[in-house]
Each structure stands twice: as structure tokens, then as C-alpha cells.
Chain A
Amino acid sequence: MSTLPAIDRSSRFKTMRREVGRALGALVIALLVAFVVVLLTSKAPFEALNVLLTQPLSRPRTIGLWIDDIAKLTVTGLAFSLVFQARQFAMGVQGQVYVGALAATYVALSPLGASWAGIPLGIAAAMLAGAFYGFLPGIAKARLGANEIVSSLMLNYIAIELCNFLVRTNLPKPQAGVLTTNDFPDNAVFPTLVANTRIDLSIIFALVAVVVVWFALYRTSWGLKLRLVGHNARFAEYSGIKATFIMVSAMTASGALGGLLGSMFVQGQTYGKLTVLFEGGLAFEGILVAIVARSRPLAVPIVAIFYAYLRQGAQLMNIRTDVPAEVIGIVTAIIILLVSSSYSLNFITRLFRRAPAASAAPAAAGGAAK
């Protein structure tokens, strides 16, 4: 027995402790800022804070909402983690959610949806559609060098308009003027795990996705290549890895996850039908989950638990007090800023240490801009 694995393990724990400490530190700072904002703006600040921090646990129904959010944030976090690990900045999860939801809707509202195959076929169609939508910016970048950030963002808007259009004109609606489709047949809606809550198959799918993504990234040669490409694309290329193939496949796989999220939205207990603008910006919040989890699949659900709790707390605060739920956007932004920067808890002292910090950044920034 060599000492090598032992060293490896202890350094791994050290890294983990540092990452957890950094994430918790960012959370504390962000919450403090949010508290100050609430104190300054609310007429009953302490009641608002109390709702934010305790109410998601108050009833089975709110716990159900929380768990449903965990499932969705986990999947979007995984989707972003996959592309971030390949050092791609594809931002297309939102669009993939919409095309995935559309595909699932067409299956669910077809005769197939009423049969036993409603759920599996719906999910498969959604994942295929999402994968295709993730593949597009990937291939455009690999073949033509088209910037994947811009193209994936444009595809998001196109998907949203497509969804609006199809719901308005092509999909069956309960009555004229409403912007939702008919309810799906029961066979196409995920069954609940706990009666009268929104806890449904989604959370199981999310956990399965965590295991699958972890296995793919850390136990397959594809995952090793993907992480190598993300670490240093040129080195990976020199060692015979087809970097462009890995990039495109990572974005396609991430797209499949985005499509899965789309089917979780429309086939889950939340809707059971397709509504325009159904995802409410949730897909983008996977950025936060992926960053705080440092793109590690096993850390993603843990981050999702905390963040989903905050999200639900903010929603309840919106309903029960005078503080709008959007205050959570401030918390989100601060957490992303603090965690993605190499800040540590003593960063305030570093602010005043001017000279050394100035020299090392250009290389990193230059790399990011390309």
C-alpha cells in the first residue's frame, strides 16, 4: 500500500472543505445583503425574513414545492455543469427546455399519450428534441467557429417564440384566447409519490440524471476526454483527442438534459399541460447551481437543495409580505460573483493590496474571451 491514495484523499477533503467554506461564505454574504435590502425596503422586515427562512417547511404542500424545485434545479444545474466542464459557455438550456416541452406535448396529446407509453415516449421525444437543440450551436462552433454564447442565446429566443406560436395556433386548446394547451391524459402525467403534493417522478429522474452524469464524467473514457478538453483543449488535441467532437457531444448531451427538464415541466404535476412562458427563468438559474457546485455532478443536488429552499422562501415572501420575490435575483447575482471569483473570506484585506493582483489576470481574461 503506497501513501499516494492517502495523500490524494486528504487533499481531496481539504479541497472539499475549502469549496464548501467558500460556497457557505458566499451564501452568508448574499443573505446579509438581502437582509439589509429587506430591512431598508419592507414595512415589516422581520416578518418577511421569517417567511423567507422558515415558511418553506411549514406545510406538506410547501415542502412539495421545494422538492419539485430541487428536481428541476438539479437537472438544469447538471446541464450547465456538462458544458462548463468542457469549458464551453453554451447558454441554451432555456431553449432546450422549450423545444423539449413542445416535443413532449405533441407526444402526450397524440393517441400515444393516452397509452401506457405516454411517459417514456414523452421523455424520449423531449430529450431528443433538446439534444438536437444543443447540437446546433455545438456544430456551428466546431465547424464554423461561430460563438456558442451568442448562437445559443438566440436559439433560446427562437424557441420561446416557436412555443408561443404553436400553442396559439397548432396545439388543441380548451377555449379560444387562453395560452395553454388541453390537459394531458393521465397516462402522460408523472404520477405523484406523495399524495396532494407536487412531489412526482421528477425527483427520481433528477437523481438518476445525477448518477448518470457522474458516471459519464468520471468513469468513462468520454468523460475523461471531456474534462481534459475543458482543462486544456490544445493539450487534449495534441494527445490525440478529437476536441471538437467532445465539445459537440458535451453540448448535445447537455441539450438532452435540457429537454428532459422540459418534459419534467409539462408532464410533471406542476402543469400537466403546456403553457406559454412556463419555465419562468428557472433554466438560467442552473448557472448558479453549476458554479457553486464547481460543475461537480454529485455536488449539484446539494446546492440545488439550498437554492431551491431560498427560491421557495422568496416566493412565499412575495405572497405573504410586501417584499417582491425578485429580491432573490440580487442574492443569486452576489453568490455567482463571489463564488466564481477567487475570493476567500479575507478578500476585503486583499482589496487594499493593489500591486500583485494586477499582473496575473490578463492571461485568464484573454482565455475567457476567446
Chain B
Amino acid sequence: MMELFLTVFSAAFFVTVIRTTTPLLLATLGGLIADLGGALNVALEGMMLIGCLTAVIVSVYAPWYVAVAAGLGAGALLGLIMAFFAFRLKADIILVGFAINILAAGGTVFALALATGGDKGTSINLQSKSIPAVDLSFLSQIPLVGPTLTAFLSGHSVLSWLAAFLVFAVWYFLYRTPWGLWLRGVGEYPAAPEAAGIPVNKIRTWSLIVSGALAGLGGAQLAMFNYVGFTRDMTAGRGFIALGAVLLGARHPVGALLAALLFGAFEALAVVMPGLFNDIPAEVIRAIPFVVTIAALVLFSIRAQRALAMRGVK
């Protein structure tokens, strides 16, 4: 047990948590934006997966930032496609989302086989690049706290810092700008903003595009930092966990951050625990994030129902 505590409270574990949290956080913020606009984005998983593959393939031929931008762009494009079918052709948005997930599951393997010349499992024979880590080792020159600061703050992905900034940016956008108000209004009660002359579908379309872009960015982090290279189904349910994190985080950016951190911590535990406890089966550890999502979803739903009851809605 002692070893577990030592591991959990070490700087290395903290860095691992940030690493596992970043893709989740980006996808969760994406899910949050779509959800607040009243469009449940169940395609986060597929968008992340396609973001992963796009980033990996582009990074073979271009610098890392172009690859990251390509992953982001691929996600945004999928968001646009989703909006087109859902709002212009009036398909059910959940079915559209699942169509995108199915497209991603099959399409990425297909594209991977083409790109690698027949390998349907991994992109191991592609020379893909990784996202650089931000080196803050100069901080250790600060007396007393310097080395600790370095251990905790140095070595994160560029996108981790971006994700942290995005939490603030999304909060500012949602609660301090008119467009954020419009977005929340559209999600809350679309008839009112429409009567006020606010273009409801345009806002929803943009929310899905941004949502896809963020999920694609999460995919790029996953395939260019957490792991370098693409393997089939490498998102492994992270998009769906992000969907749970949106609901768990009380549909607020800070809540999203906390929820993503919770799931990221469990994923990081799953990474370090097999080395510590040989008697806990790996399958149980891998299942932990999904069990936690359900437990969290149920707890949050109880709380939400109680709040509704207190306001006398039900």
C-alpha cells in the first residue's frame, strides 16, 4: 500500500495524469460546447480517432504543428458534416453521430492499410513525429521551490498547456461574450433566441464544428504525444468517457476540467498499477474508468433530480 501512496504523490505520477487527462479534457470541452448548444455530440469518439490518424499521417510529411492543425481540421470537418446532415437534412443527431463513429472505426483501418501498404494494426512503419514537450528546467534555478516546480511543470505537451488555457477561454466565451450567451440560449430553449432573431442553426453548426475541432485536437495529442503513432481503435472509448465527463462536470468548463482530471487520474492509475500489484487483474484496472463514469453519471443524475425537485419542477 505504501508503494501506491509513494507513486500517487510523486511528481512523475502527476505528469502522467496531466498526459492522460489532456486528450480527455480537449474532447470534454468539445462535448461541452456542443451539449450547451443543444446538440449531443456522440461522435466525439470517431472525431478523436480520425484526428489521431490524420495527425499521424500528416506528421510523416510535415512539421508537428501542421500535423496537429490537420488533426484539428479533420475533426472540424466532421463536425461540419454532422451539422449538415443533422440540421440541413434533418437526420437524428444521435444516429448521425453513430454513423460518424462507424465511419471512423472502419475508415481509419482502411486508410491505415493504404498508408502503410497493408498493415491494418499499427502505423509502426511510418516515420511519424511527436509533439514537443515544454522544457521548463530553467525554473530549477529558483531557490527552494525550484526543483519541485521543474518536476511538476516541466515536460508537459504543448497541447496540455493549450488545454489548460482553453478551459479559461471556453469559460470566458460562454459567460462573458454575447455569442456564449446565444449558444447557451440556443441549447436551453431554442424558440426564444429564434424569436429574437438569433440564427439558431448557424450557432449549432458552429458549436459542432468547434466541438469536432477540439476532439480532433485531443486525437492529435493522443497519437503524437501519449503514444507516438496510430493503432486501430486507439481512442478505446475515450470519446464516450468525455461524453460522460460533460454530464458529470455539471456542463461547466471548470466542472469539465475536474471530471476530465478524475478520469485521467484513473487512466494513469491503470498505467502504473500493474507494476505495483500483480494480483489485481489488468482487465479490472482497464474497466475502472468505465465503472467510474457510470457511478458518476448516476450520482450526478440523483443530484440533478434533487435540484429539480427543490425548484418544484417535478
Contact = CB atoms under 8 A, between A and B. Distances in A.
A324 B115 CA distance: 12
Contact of B113 (A147, A324, A330, A362): A324
A333 interface: yes
Contacts of A324: 109-110, 113, 120
Contact of A342 (B90, B98, B120): B90
B92 A340 contact: yes
Given A151-B294, A162-B283, A361 B90 contact: yes
Interface stretch (A103-111, A153-161, A195-203, A212-220): A153-161
Contacts of B294: 140, 146, 151, 154-155, 158
Nearest to B240: A153
Most chain A beta-carbon contacts within 10 A, residue among B98, B105, B113, B293: B98
A146 to B, nearest CB: 4
Interface string A323-336: 01011111011101
Interface of B: 35, 38-40, 42, 85-96, 98-100, 102-103, 105-107, 109-110, 113-114, 118, 120, 186-187, 190-191, 194, 199-202, 204, 237, 240-241, 243-244, 247, 281, 283-284, 286-287, 290-291, 293-294, 297-298, 301-302, 304-305
A281 B87 contact: no
Contacts of B199: 358
B100 A150 contact: no
Given A154-B240, A161-B287, A365 B39 contact: yes
B90 A329 contact: no
Nearest to B285: A161
A89 interface: yes
B110 A326 contact: yes
Given A362-B194, A369-B39, A347 B89 contact: yes
A164 B287 CA distance: 11
A341 B87 CA distance: 9
A368 interface: yes
A144 B85 contact: no
Contacts of A368: 40, 92-94
B96 to A, nearest CB: 6
A212 B156 CA distance: 57
Q: DSSP majority for the A interface?
A: helix
A252 B103 CA distance: 29
A132 to B, nearest CB: 15
Contacts of A337: 85, 91, 96, 99
B120 A326 contact: yes
A149 interface: yes
B283 A157 contact: no
23 contacts: A145-B305, A146-B298, A146-B301, A147-B247, A150-B244, A157-B290, A165-B281, A169-B281, A287-B95, A324-B113, A324-B120, A326-B120, A330-B103, A336-B95, A337-B85, A340-B96, A351-B88, A360-B90, A361-B86, A361-B201, A362-B186, A365-B204, A366-B38
Given A145-B304, A150-B243, A333-B100, A162 B39 contact: no
B261 to A, nearest CB: 19
A357 interface: yes
Nearest to A163: B283
Contacts of A358: 87, 199, 201-202
A4 interface: no
A245 B67 CA distance: 50
A192 interface: no
Contacts of A151: 294, 297-298
Contacts of A150: 240, 243-244, 247, 293, 297
B59 to A, nearest CB: 22
Contacts of A158: 287, 290-291, 294
A285 B105 CA distance: 12
Given A41-B114, A146-B301, A368-B40, A284 B102 contact: yes
B43 to A, nearest CB: 11
A347 B237 CA distance: 34
Contact of B89 (A41, A281, A343): A343
A348 to B, nearest CB: 11
B156 to A, nearest CB: 28
B39 to A, nearest CB: 6
Contacts of B201: 358, 361-362
Contacts of B88: 351, 357, 361
A154 B90 CA distance: 28
A332 B87 contact: no
Contact of B98 (A155, A168, A336, A363): A336
